[in-house]
Amino acid sequence: MCGIVGAVAQRDITPVLLEGLKRLEYRGYDSCGVAVYAEGELRRARSTERVAELLSQVEKDKVAGFTGIAHTRWATHGAPATHNAHPHFSGNAKSSPRIALVHNGIIENHDELREELQAAGYVFESQTDTEVIAHLVDHLYAGDLLEAVQQATRRLTGAYAIAVFCRDEPHRVVGARHGSPLVVGRGVNENFLASDALALAGTTDQITYLEDGDVVDLQLARVWITDSEGRAVDREVHTVQVHTGAAELGPYRHYMQKEIFEQPRAVADTLQDIESITPELFGDQAYKVFKDIDNVLILACGTSYYAGLTARYWIESIAKIPVNVEIASEYRYRDSVPNPRSLVVTISQSGETADTLAALKHARGLGMEHTLTICNVATSAMVRECKLAYITRAGVEIGVASTKAFTTQLTALFLLALALAQTKDKLSEEKEAESLKALRHLPVAIGAVLALEPQIMAWADRFASKENALFLGRGMHYPIALEGALKLKEISYIHAEAYPAGELKHGPLALVTEAMPVVTIAPRDELLEKLKSNMQEVHARGGELYVFADADTRIGSSEGIHVIRMPENYGKLSPILHTIPLQLLAYHTACARGTDVDKPRNLAKSVTVE
């Protein structure tokens, strides 16, 4: 993860670097730092607080200059402490530092390089793998920074994006990428580097996406890119309009709450006034691809993985195509049996998740060429790497815990199930019309669930004092139980687990006491009576049930059973509606516990390291 910004210009570049950092905080916020060239030396400010604090330090210490790099960190090697914060410096201890470097990614051979550099006399100030690169560049430096970086990157194994500059060549920043994103932004007599075009919005919209192995030499009026073989290459310049995400909070306390309430709009935007189901919703070649495939392989992480688990129920039931859903970080390393007739679907809010990207490349390497991504960022690596795509239109999600990105993924996946069914002649006209009607009404239905917020807040007050919680669901609501448990643990730090309700008696029932709240998703479906029996098993052992029950389930409140009634039963789309109260429960429980809801500890919004 981590976010990088770099610039060469003829004006004080610190405000641009710090504004970029603020926008990149979604990539990590353990610490941050900035370094510039000024009056013949490198100057630096670093902080373990947020960018706002760094800004006051920069003003106090007068850190200003025409060339600079900045970084927001998500710690991998070394605790979140000032001495581990980037930029890292290197250079002869007797003179002022010569090299400043920031890095996103993980260097796997850092131990071996560290030993080598220590033997060459370098003294390390941090526990990071990054400092190794700074010293390596310095060690190889013989008057040309580009050459030193090219040589240094040949020695690195692992994933990285770096930006580096040198006291002795003050109008130059060199960047390199291998496995972690890095873009170049072009201006007039000034040029920029960043992990994401978002960091440069308002400064430039002329963006070049670097490819793996690229090294870029950034000067005032020149951008020079070489590929992994050291050959000069032209990379396309795109005009990229990005939302800055600097959205106002309006009446909301946190971005997460705002984003929960934006779901009716986000789902409506994702549906884009679709008038009929056609494979072409997923790309020009979709019909041919959908005709050719005989199974679906879904690859994703975290919340996106739970969207994939839900989609399995839909695709198998509606399109009658077998589906496998795999956690990307597992799939990429296991021996699997490839099927060239698989439709490989990656699901990713950011489109930059390292494990999902690597799993996609792995699948392609195994000969599976039919690839589709469901993604919220049209310009992301995932979209560029896949043959087909459906862009969800959730808008920028600032809260680290995914909410509207998840429900829009589910919306897109439901459309995918319908489009696959149609291609395989499994979707009658009546079914299509009925499904479209339900989809169109979905934003209104979500709005009605959001109105339950006051009742959910009352529950959240009770949850705030708990240390554990169980979530139960059955069938296509089991992945929603998993998502509910993940939301609660991420932002309230309460330990929560989810189980298919029928599985409880095979072990987890031992955990149930009066201290254990058991959140139950109770839609009116064919498994309802089975679910009621599972609830009795909990009730009989003194567990406190908190049930989100559809109106016609005949589940009533009584001693030890608390019920919030869902406004309507929503058939196959019910998992989307049942997600909403679980998001609100997690959100209000976290508020009651006073956690940093939008930036929960140890997490980051975009996970670009493995």
Residues catalogued as catalytic:
2, 605
**Beta-bridge partner residues of 100:** 89, 165
CB of 467 to ligand F6R, least distance (A): 21
342: helix, strand or coil: strand
Cβ closer to ligand F6R: 130 or 349?
Answer: 349
Cβ closer to ligand F6R: 263 or 304?
Answer: 304
> Which 340-369 residues touch ligand F6R, going by CB under 6 A?
348-350, 353, 356
Nearest-angstrom CA–CA distance, 162 and 149: 10
Position closest to ligand F6R via CB = 302
Examine residue 379 and tell whether it contacts ligand F6R (CB under 6 A): no
How far is CA 395 from each of CA 255, 269, 536, rounded to the nearest angstrom?
A: 12, 9, 42
DSSP-assigned letters across all residues of 365-424: HTT---EEEEES-TTSHHHHH-SEEEE-------SSS-SHHHHHHHHHHHHHHHHHHHHT
> Which 238-257 residues touch ligand F6R, going by CB under 6 A?
none
Cβ closer to ligand F6R: 153 or 402?
Answer: 402
Nearest-angstrom CA–CA distance, 170 and 219: 9
CB of 566 to ligand F6R, least distance (A): 22
Q: 520, 607, 609, 610: which one contacts ligand F6R (CB under 6 A)?
A: 607
CB of 307 to ligand F6R, least distance (A): 8
CB of 609 to ligand F6R, least distance (A): 11
Closest by Cα among 499, 300, 323 to 406: 300
Which strands make up the sheet holding 468-473, listed edge to edge?
495-500, 468-473, 517-522, 544-550, 561-566
DSSP-assigned letters across all residues of 441-505: HHHHHHHHHHTTHHHHHHHHHHHTT-SEEEEEE-GGGHHHHHHHHHHHHHHH--EEEEEEGGGGG
Cβ closer to ligand F6R: 403 or 574?
Answer: 403
Cβ closer to ligand F6R: 415 or 561?
Answer: 415
Nearest-angstrom CA–CA distance, 541 and 331: 39
Cβ closer to ligand F6R: 306 or 548?
Answer: 306
Cβ closer to ligand F6R: 141 or 390?
Answer: 390
Nearest-angstrom CA–CA distance, 407 and 413: 10
> Which 294-333 residues touch ligand F6R, going by CB under 6 A?
301-304
Task: Check if the beta carbon of residue 323 is closer than 8 Å to that of residue 298.
Answer: yes
User: Total residues at the site for ligand F6R (CB under 6 A)?
Assistant: 14
Nearest-angstrom CA–CA distance, 310 and 330: 19
- The number of beta carbons lying within 10 Å of the beta carbon of residue 143 is 9
CB of 334 to ligand F6R, least distance (A): 19
Nearest-angstrom CA–CA distance, 344 and 320: 16
Q: 401, 482, 504, 516: which one contacts ligand F6R (CB under 6 A)?
A: 401
Cβ closer to ligand F6R: 206 or 304?
Answer: 304
The secondary structure of the chain in percent helix, strand, coil, rounded to multiples of 5, reads 40, 25, 35
From the centroid of its chain, how far is CA 61?
A: 34
Q: Please calculate the CA angle 320-322-326 and round it to the nearest 5 degrees.
A: 140
Nearest-angstrom CA–CA distance, 24 and 94: 35
The binding track of 470-489 with respect to ligand F6R, each residue x by CB under 6 A or -, is ----------------x---
CB of 301 to ligand F6R, least distance (A): 4
Nearest-angstrom CA–CA distance, 420 and 132: 50
**Beta-bridge partner residues of 324:** 297
Cβ closer to ligand F6R: 182 or 597?
Answer: 597
CB of 302 to ligand F6R, least distance (A): 2
By DSSP bridging, strand 172-178 and strand 158-166 are: antiparallel
The binding track of 487-526 with respect to ligand F6R, each residue x by CB under 6 A or -, is ---x------------------------------------
Nearest-angstrom CA–CA distance, 83 and 126: 6
Cβ closer to ligand F6R: 360 or 527?
Answer: 360
CB of 283 to ligand F6R, least distance (A): 20
CB of 306 to ligand F6R, least distance (A): 8
CB of 373 to ligand F6R, least distance (A): 10
Cis preceding linkage at 80, omega within 30: no
**Residues near ligand F6R (CB under 6 A):** 301-304, 348-350, 353, 356, 401-402, 486, 490, 607
